């Protein structure tokens, strides 16, 4: 594909990051600003399976969910939309390859402490449903941060940034990114 063909392709930003980093909420705002639909991969899977994520984990296991996640990503990746992946989407080598081939990928990077404050007690997150949320998030950081890094075209350290600031930083990146294409 030559550069002129690539420029004609619609913008398809993909948000990655740990659970609670704001992929869904920032994704909604970004989609509205770009006049694109938001495809929340977890919601897409729930709708398609007609079961909640905790139900899928309980009935079929995490491996089955991860397979559904890859199938869903393959189905939506080429659609003109903002895509918010699940936090564990990067665990699959296939998913990482797909993400790397379909830029721009934006990593909403946040500390485990920030995330724990946001998601403590959220029963819709089976990987942290019971036990020490902060400890589980710290364990996920060890595994997932290098994988997010490998896929990301832009790393946005969330810190205590307000959603409006996060959105502005992403829009500036996307403007620069499109200008370089």
Q: Summarize the annotated binding site as residue ranges.
A: 20-25, 42, 66, 87, 125, 144
Of the candidates 108, 76, 111, which has an alpha carbon nearest to the alpha carbon of residue 95?
76
On whether the CB atoms of residues 43 and 37 are closer than 8 A, the answer is no
Binding-site annotation, residues for substrate? 42, 66, 87, 144
Query: What residues pair up with 108 in beta bridges, in sequence order?
Result: 156
Q: How far is CA 65 from CA 10, 51, 76, 90, in A?
A: 29, 11, 16, 13
On whether the CB atoms of residues 70 and 92 are closer than 8 A, the answer is yes
Helix or strand or coil: residue 92? coil
Binding-site annotation, residues for ATP? 20-25, 125
Q: Name the DSSP class of 15.
A: E
d(CA 92, CA 157): 23
Binding-site annotation, residues for Mg(2+)? 24
């Amino acid at each position: 594909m030559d550069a002129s063909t690539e420029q004609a392709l619609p913008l398809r930003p993909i948000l990655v990051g740990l659970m609670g980093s704001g992929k869904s909420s920032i994704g909604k705002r970004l989609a509205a600003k770009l006049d694109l639909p938001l495809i929340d991969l977890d919601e897409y899977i729930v709708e398609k399976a007609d079961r909640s994520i905790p139900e899928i984990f309980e009935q079929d296991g995490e491996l089955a969910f991860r397979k559904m996640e890859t199938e869903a990503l393959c189905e939506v990746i080429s659609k003109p939309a903002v895509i918010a992946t699940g936090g564990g989407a990067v665990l699959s080598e296939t998913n990482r390859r797909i993400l790397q081939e379909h830029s721009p990928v934006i990593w909403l990077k946040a500390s485990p402490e920030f995330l724990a404050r946001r998601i403590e007690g959220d029963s819709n997150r089976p990987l942290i449903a019971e036990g020490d949320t902060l400890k589980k998030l710290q364990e996920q950081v060890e595994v997932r941060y290098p994988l997010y890094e490998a896929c990301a075209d832009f790393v946005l350290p969330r810190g205590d940034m307000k959603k409006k600031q996060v959105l502005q930083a992403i829009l500036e990146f996307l403007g620069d990114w499109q200008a370089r294409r």
